[in-house]
């Protein structure tokens, strides 16, 4: 006896096995990210007033990345629809764009990560705070592109328009401690890196699967086109979910 | 392959021969056959069950005789673990490790893999008339993740500083400020185990939805399948929040974040160098959001096993099949909204406590319905008292004790006193030990003939049963008294510092009687270990030397797993089964035999494709 409904749909459920499987898997993924978003809400509600960072992320870049992912979702549907219409060449074209978009998304994300990891908050011995990107390191001093503030609270809200960034030279002897904007920096950074990092892992996983189906896996089209189309559909459902998670992450981390 | 099977199913011999070409690795290690995966799960989990039990034995020695070297095992501990077990004495650190790992191993590596993964994998496809699970390779991956997780957990004992020490609940900040890597290992192990459960759960649900044989409608599913189906949903939806929590705690451990570390946390008298702003309560919410449904993951498959064995051995249909199905679905739903009854002492407020008390009392209703249906099923039956049935008969009152003693813990007034005492330990062990483990034993004795074509020895089975029943009660019954006397759990000296003997002028010190119960429990635990010896020998001896069954259906059962060759070949059924009737048609009036298998054609009824 062979396992039934691996390709054709079961009459009473209207689904083939893998489609049931991927929907169930996505349900568990909803719970995974749901728990993380709950953690975000609880930690943000518990944060002291005025100390939740605002405007720390680059909204135009985030918007661009959102557009990139939405485009990739469209091409994913088009790739699947092309297979349904037996147009293998168009499938190759559309999924090539999907993969390109995935790569673009990850590149932009890496740029944003890099920006955060080279961003320093420096506590000076006189109690003031210097904040910015280091552009020069000398044995006795460093030069940052940023600013110096008296109250740490001023670093949290970057929505104000009159913030002027300029080159500031700081003597090493003045520095009490300095810290990168890594996940250890504060709760917001921790959430930002954990949530987007886990999302990026999903993007990488999805891109590997789609890349396989685009490259070596596409040989199946010649021997079993229906099964291949199903695989493209299932991987596409996962890709849409990854896209959807970003649709929530973007406003929560960039805009709110 | 049994001779009888070959006669009954002429095609099965050729079928089996075709698959015997697969090598040793493909057959036993990287198998994609649901039955082999079920057996792999079963064997590995039984090993972990024994290992977790030995951890407990050593802890019981330490509790009864604090600071004295462990007999027999002591020198081995000292040579394997070094300083933490110097001279064979269990240090408080090691005791904490054993406590944390006993809980973790028993829950995540022994009971769930046995009750859900082992029995479910072997039986669910057979009972619904399917050739295999829906995704055989995912199934294999699920087992491999489980082994990986188990390996990480096991080897964490041997890293410097030893295994995790903060209890199976791993509450931060304590879990995170212990200066060893045990907790990191624990978290990585848990992430593997959770991934394994998720893959398994997806597979089970898809299998039940998609692969039911023609005519196997939802209301013709054996209750065991229903129980596994709901269990799979609990795992699917409740485990991911713990995975999220595990990832967050791992970030705290390795990336320096402060998800669960509050501002102003002091460690060892000094302000910790952390960014702060985290919430320890967040962990508790995420943890218990899994861990309460997990309790039902432990018990529902056991109830499924019990229902099958009761119906078979009373030769009667299970009483109230539909009530059972709706009850198990209700439990599944309600189990997601009771988690904070573990958190009454966190100061979350009386209004929220009231909500969770209400849902907790509500969830006891379907549980009682299930237990009542099982009891009524016995009424008027001509009961066969074989070993599986004895275990099941003991399950009913034992689970009853475990369930009823849970009510005071579900109400915040009484829980504030009983919280974190031995009473809690006694309560949940009554559910899991003489509850779920008895059901697992019953299931092993009951389905052993299907797996091997031989029975297990009845005499030694009964010794195993009576010994286990008596000793388990001797172990757990005194703990109720200890807990009500105020003895806290998790103390490496068994509460000696709070005893009346040590602080004679204090009101409410633990009395000599309460402290003396430790010795009693220790020897009962040793007794429990001894009566498992016949079981282990019986299990292995009977594979080759047990009495032969001479039939594919030795218990005269109605469900589909018995209508296959013995053992079922790859692909399970010689011909695709058609289902004509419900799962428990025992003693139907006017029939020649007292059981009517589900696939026996019924001229009045054609199987529908659903």
State residue B501's pLDDT score: 86
CA B516 to the chain's CA centroid: 30
**Where does a domain end: A158, A180, A202?**
A180
Position B114 scores a pLDDT of 97
In a domain, B601, yes or no: no
Q: Are A74 and A141 in the same domain?
A: no
Cβ distance B501 to B66 under 8 Å? Answer: no
Residue B605 in domain = no
Cβ-contact A129, A122 below 8 angstroms: yes
pLDDT for residue B24: 83
Decide if A193 and B255 are in contact by the 8 Å CB cutoff: yes
Check whether residue A248 and residue A149 sit in a common domain: no
B120 part of a folded domain: yes
Whether A168 and A214 map to the same domain: the answer is no
Closest CA to B230 of B102, B325, B322: B325
pLDDT for B574: 86
Boundary residue ending a domain (A133, A150, A180): A180
Cβ-based neighbours of B397, under 8 Å, separated by 6 or more: none
Contact B277 A184 (CB under 8 A): no
Which pLDDT belongs to residue B394?
97
Q: Is there a contact between A28 and B257 if contact means CB atoms under 8 Å apart? A: no
- Residue A166 to residue B142: CA distance in whole angstroms: 55
pLDDT in tens, B339-394: 999 999 998 888 999 999 999 999 999 999 999 999 999 999 889 999 999 999 99
- Residue A82's CATH number: 1.20.120.80
Residues A131 and A232 grouped into a single domain:
no
Q: Has residue B330 been placed in a domain?
A: yes
Contact pairs from chain A to chain B, CB under 8 Å: 143
Q: How many CA atoms lie within 13 A of A126 on its CB side?
A: 10
CB-CB under 8 Å, B132 with A3 = yes
Average pLDDT, 10 consecutive residues per value, chain B (610 residues): 38 44 80 95 97 96 94 91 90 95 97 97 97 96 97 94 93 91 96 96 97 95 98 96 96 95 91 90 95 95 97 95 97 96 90 95 96 95 95 97 95 93 97 96 97 96 98 97 94 89 84 94 97 97 95 95 93 91 93 92 65
Q: What is the DSSP string of B512-576?
A: HHHHHHHHHHHHHHHHHHHHHHHHHHHHHHHHHHSPB--SS-TT---SGGGGS-SS--TTS-SS-
For residue B318, what is the DSSP state? P
Please list the ranges in chain A whose pLDDT falls under 50.
Answer: none
The pLDDT assigned to A237 comes to 98
Closest-CA distance of chain B to residue A159, Å: 22
Residue A9 lies in a domain: no
| Domain housing B389 | 3-259+278-563
For residue A3, list chain B residues with Cβ-Cβ distance below 8 A: 130-132, 134, 136, 211
Cα–Cα nearest to B224, from B166, B306, B316, B121: B306
Q: What is the C-alpha to C-alpha distance for residues A189 and B406, in angstroms, rounded to an integer?
A: 42
Residues of A in contact with B238 (CB under 8 A): 31
Considering only CB atoms, A194 lies closest to which of B134, B239, B247, namely: B247
Do the Cβ atoms of A5 and B210 come within 8 Å? yes
Question: Does residue B271 lie in a domain region?
Answer: no
- Residue B285: the pLDDT is 95
In a domain, A89, yes or no: yes
Buried b / exposed e along B374-395 (16+ C-beta atoms within 10 A): beebbeebeeeebbbbbbbbbb
Is residue A111 located within the same domain as residue A199? yes
ipTM comes to 0.95
Q: Coil, helix or strand for B329? A: helix
Give bridge partners of residue B421 from the DSSP assignment. Answer: B488
On whether residue B591 sits in a domain, the answer given is no
CB atoms B202 and A2 under 8 Å: no
**Chain B neighbors of A39, CB-CB under 8 A:** 244-245, 248, 259, 282, 286
Q: For residues B245 and B339, is the Cβ–Cβ distance under 8 A?
A: no
* Shared domain check, A195 and A108: yes
Domain assignment present for residue A75? The answer is yes
Q: Which of B241, B258, B571 is opposite residue A35, by nearest beta carbon?
A: B241
pLDDT at residue B607, rounded to an integer: 58
Global pTM value: 0.94
Q: Is residue B602 part of a domain?
A: no
- Chain B residue numbers with beta carbons less than 8 Å from the beta carbon of A194 are 247-248, 251, 257, 259
Which CATH number do you get for residue B284? 1.20.210.10
A106 and A201 inside one domain: yes
Tell me: do A38 and A110 sit in the same domain.
yes
| Bridging pattern class, strands A175-180 and A119-124 | antiparallel
**Which residues in chain A are contacts of B131 at CB distance < 8 A?**
1-4
Determine, yes or no, domain membership for A16.
Answer: no
Task: State whether A46 and A162 are in the same domain.
Answer: no
* pLDDT reported for residue B21: 60
Same domain? For A110 and A206 the reply is yes
Bridge partners of residue B499, in order along the sequence: B510
Same domain, A176 and A54: no
How many beta carbons lie within 10 A of that of residue B451, not counting itself? 17
- What lies within 8 Å, CB to CB, of A231 at 6+ separation is A18, A213, A217, A220
Determine the structural domain holding residue A239 and report its residue range: 24-116+185-255
Confirm if A254 and A65 have CB atoms less than 8 A apart: no
pLDDT, residue B608, reads: 56
Report residue A251 CA to chain centroid gap. 12
What distances in angstroms separate CA B122 from CA A129, B131, B137, B444, one per listed residue? 64, 11, 15, 11
Q: Any CB–CB contact under 8 A between A199 and chain B? A: no
Quick check: is A56 in a domain? yes
Say yes or no for a CB contact (<8 Å) between B258 and A21: no
Q: How far is B367 from B410, CA to CA, in rounded Å? A: 14
If one counts the domains in chain A, the total is 2
pLDDT at residue A49, rounded to an integer: 87
pLDDT computed for residue B606 by the predictor: 59
Let me know if residue B585 belongs to a domain. Answer: no
Is B240 close to A32, i.e. CB distance below 8 A?
yes
Question: Which residue of chain A is at minimal alpha-carbon distance from B11?
Answer: A1
Element (H, E) at A120: strand A119-124
* Probe site for chain A from B134, B215, B339, B609 (most A CB atoms < 10 A): B134
Chain B residues whose CB is inside 8 A of the A189 CB are 257
**CB of A134 less than 8 A from some CB of B:** no
Q: How many domains does chain B have?
A: 1
A44 found inside a domain: yes
Identify whether residues A225 and A237 lie together within a single domain: yes
A28 and B236: CB-CB below 8 Å? yes
Q: Which of A146, A164, A180 is the last residue of a domain?
A: A180
Q: Does A24 touch chain B (CB under 8 A)?
A: yes
Q: Is A164 exposed, middle or buried (0-12, 13-18, 19+ CB in 10 A)?
A: exposed
Q: Is residue A230 part of a domain?
A: yes
Q: How close is the nearest chain A Cα to the Cα of B229, in Å?
A: 13
Probe site for chain B from A35, A37, A200 (most B CB atoms < 10 A): A35
């Amino acid at each position: 006896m062979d396992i039934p409904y691996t390709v054709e749909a079961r009459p009473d459920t209207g689904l083939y096995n893998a489609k049931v499987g991927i929907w169930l898997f996505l349900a568990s993924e909803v719970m995974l990210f749901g728990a993380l978003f709950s953690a975000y809400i609880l930690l943000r509600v518990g944060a002291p007033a005025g100390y939740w960072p605002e405007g720390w992320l680059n909204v135009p870049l985030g918007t661009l990345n959102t557009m990139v992912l939405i485009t990739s979702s469209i091409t994913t549907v088009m790739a699947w629809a092309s297979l349904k219409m037996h147009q293998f060449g168009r499938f190759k074209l559309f999924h090539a764009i999907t993969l390109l978009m995935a790569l673009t998304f990850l590149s932009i994300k890496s740029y944003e990560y890099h920006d955060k990891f080279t961003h320093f908050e420096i506590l000076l011995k006189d109690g003031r705070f210097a904040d910015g990107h280091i552009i020069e390191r000398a044995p006795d001093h460093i030069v940052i592109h940023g600013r110096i503030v008296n109250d740490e609270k001023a670093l949290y809200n970057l929505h104000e328009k009159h913030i002027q960034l300029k080159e500031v030279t700081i003597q090493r002897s003045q520095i009490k401690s300095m810290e990168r904007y890594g996940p250890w920096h504060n709760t917001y950074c921790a959430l930002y890196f954990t949530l987007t990092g886990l999302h990026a892992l999903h993007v990488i996983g999805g891109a590997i699967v789609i890349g396989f189906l685009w490259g070596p896996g596409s040989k199946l089209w010649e021997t079993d086109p229906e099964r291949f189309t199903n695989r493209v559909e299932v991987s596409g459902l996962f890709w849409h979910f990854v896209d959807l998670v970003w649709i929530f992450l973007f406003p929560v981390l960039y805009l709110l | 392959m049994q001779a009888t099977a070959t006669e009954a199913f002429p095609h099965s011999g050729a079928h089996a021969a075709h698959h015997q070409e697969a090598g040793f690795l493909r057959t036993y290690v990287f198998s994609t056959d649901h039955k082999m995966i079920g057996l792999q799960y079963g064997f590995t989990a039984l090993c972990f069950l024994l290992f977790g039990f030995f951890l407990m034995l050593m802890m019981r020695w330490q509790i009864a005789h604090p600071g004295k070297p462990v007999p027999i095992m002591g020198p081995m501990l000292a040579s394997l673990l070094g300083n933490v077990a110097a001279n064979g004495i269990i240090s408080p650190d090691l005791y904490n490790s054993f406590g944390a790992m006993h809980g973790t191993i028993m829950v995540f590596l022994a009971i769930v893999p046995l009750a859900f993964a082992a029995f479910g994998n072997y039986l669910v496809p057979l009972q619904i008339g399917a050739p295999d699970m829906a995704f055989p390779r995912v199934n294999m991956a699920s087992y491999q993740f489980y082994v990986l997780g188990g390996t990480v957990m096991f080897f964490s004992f041997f890293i410097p500083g030893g295994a995790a020490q903060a209890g199976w609940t791993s509450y931060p900040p304590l879990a995170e400020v212990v200066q060893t890597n045990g907790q990191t290992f624990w978290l990585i192990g848990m992430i593997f185990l959770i991934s394994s459960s998720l893959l398994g759960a997806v597979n089970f649900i898809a299998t039940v939805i998609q692969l039911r044989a023609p005519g196997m409608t939802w209301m013709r599913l054996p209750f065991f399948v229903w129980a596994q189906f709901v269990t799979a949903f609990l795992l699917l939806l409740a485990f991911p929040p713990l995975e999220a929590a595990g990832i967050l705690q791992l970030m705290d451990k390795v990336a320096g974040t402060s998800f669960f570390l509050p501002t102003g946390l002091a460690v060892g008298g000094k302000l910790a160098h952390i960014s702060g702003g985290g919430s320890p309560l967040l962990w508790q919410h995420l943890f218990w959001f899994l861990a309460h449904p997990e309790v039902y993951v432990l018990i529902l498959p056991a109830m499924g096993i019990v229902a099958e064995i009761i119906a078979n051995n009373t030769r009667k249909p299970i009483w109230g099949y539909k009530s059972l199905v709706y009850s198990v679905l209700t439990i599944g739903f309600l189990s997601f909204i009771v988690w904070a009854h573990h958190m009454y002492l966190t100061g979350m407020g009386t209004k929220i406590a009231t909500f969770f008390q209400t849902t907790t009392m509500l969830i006891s209703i379907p549980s009682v319905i299930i237990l009542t249906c099982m009891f009524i099923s016995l009424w008027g039956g001509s009961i066969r008292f074989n070993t599986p049935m004895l275990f099941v008969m003991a399950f009913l009152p034992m689970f009853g004790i475990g369930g009823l003693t849970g009510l005071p813990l579900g109400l915040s007034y009484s829980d504030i006193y009983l919280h974190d005492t031995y009473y809690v330990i006694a309560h949940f062990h009554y559910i899991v030990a003489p509850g779920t483990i008895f059901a697992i034993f019953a299931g092993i004795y009951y389905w052993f003939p299907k797996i091997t074509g031989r029975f297990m020895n009845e005499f030694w089975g009964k010794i195993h049963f009576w010994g286990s029943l008596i000793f388990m009660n001797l172990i757990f019954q005194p703990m109720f008294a200890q807990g009500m006397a105020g003895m806290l759990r998790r103390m490496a000296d068994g509460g000696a510092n709070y005893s009346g003997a040590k602080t004679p002028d204090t009101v409410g010190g633990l009395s000599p009687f309460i402290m003396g119960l430790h010795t009693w429990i220790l020897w009962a635990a040793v007794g429990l270990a001894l009566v498992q010896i016949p079981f282990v020998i019986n299990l292995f001896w009977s594979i080759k030397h047990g009495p032969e069954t001479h039939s594919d259906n030795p218990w005269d059962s109605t469900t589909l797993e018995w209508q296959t060759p013995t053992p079922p070949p790859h692909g399970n059924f010689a011909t695709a089964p058609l289902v004509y009737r419900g799962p428990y048609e025992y003693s139907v009036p006017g029939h020649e035999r007292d059981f009517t298998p589900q696939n026996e054609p019924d001229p009045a009824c054609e199987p529908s494709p659903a």
